[in-house]
Amino acid sequence: MIKAILIFNNHGKPRLSKFYEHYSEDTEQQIIRETFHLVSKRDENVCNFLEGGMLIGGSDYKLIYRHYATLYFVFCVDSSESELGILDLIQVFVETLDKCFENVCELDLIFHVDKVHNILAEMVMGGMVLETNMNEIIMQVDAQNKMEKSEIKTRHILSCIPQYKIQYHSHHSCHYYGDLTVPLFQCTSRIRDH
């Protein structure tokens, strides 16, 4: 089970928080703060797992995170999840965001947190992984956005925001999954090109 998914930037500002268990707003903020402190202290070239169980859940829980340019993506999961699997899931999440927002950057997340939530809802539901196939996720998200557009034709504000691109580190691509895993975690060559 996934207990929480947090996205915050290099300064600890939350960009998305999704808790699959109820906490009060204050506790949530505290968890975000402490997670940020734990994660931000770590060097770039150390492992992506953290046993910071004190925050949520206890010893059975792990923090699994990835750092993309200005953003940290942190998943708090218990022992039923595969560590490497979750790392790849984060990758799929970011790739999906990249496709949906066309070259995603932090600002996309800042101004469209609702859209990010909608994308995430197609991947993870109630703390369990729902879908790992990026094409399927994008298809469903697009279909719902189309519905939305047909409902509201009037208000559609496109914000013109300077784009700070998220840099994809080459070593963050999906190398834990080999050729056998056709439907999962497909890496698009487009991302590698960044």
- In the chain, the amino acid numbered 4 is A
- The nearest distance, CB 10 to another protein, in angstroms, is 16
Q: Which is nearer to another protein, 126 or 188 (CB)?
A: 126
Q: Which is nearer to another protein, 103 or 148 (CB)?
A: 148
Which positions lie near another protein, rule CB under 8 A?
1, 14, 16-18, 20, 22, 25-26, 28-29, 43, 45-51, 80, 82-85, 87-88, 110-111, 113-114, 117-118, 121, 125-133, 136, 140, 143-144, 147-148, 151-152, 155, 157, 159, 171, 175-184
Name the DSSP letter for residue 170.
Answer: G
Alpha carbon dihedral 194, 169, 161, 150, in 10-degree steps, equals 70
Q: Which is nearer to another protein, 82 or 188 (CB)?
A: 82
Decide the pairing of beta strands 49-50 and 14-19: unpaired
Residue 10 neighbours by CB distance under 10 Å? 13
Q: Which is nearer to another protein, 178 or 193 (CB)?
A: 178
Q: Is-contact 5 16, C-beta < 8 A?
A: yes
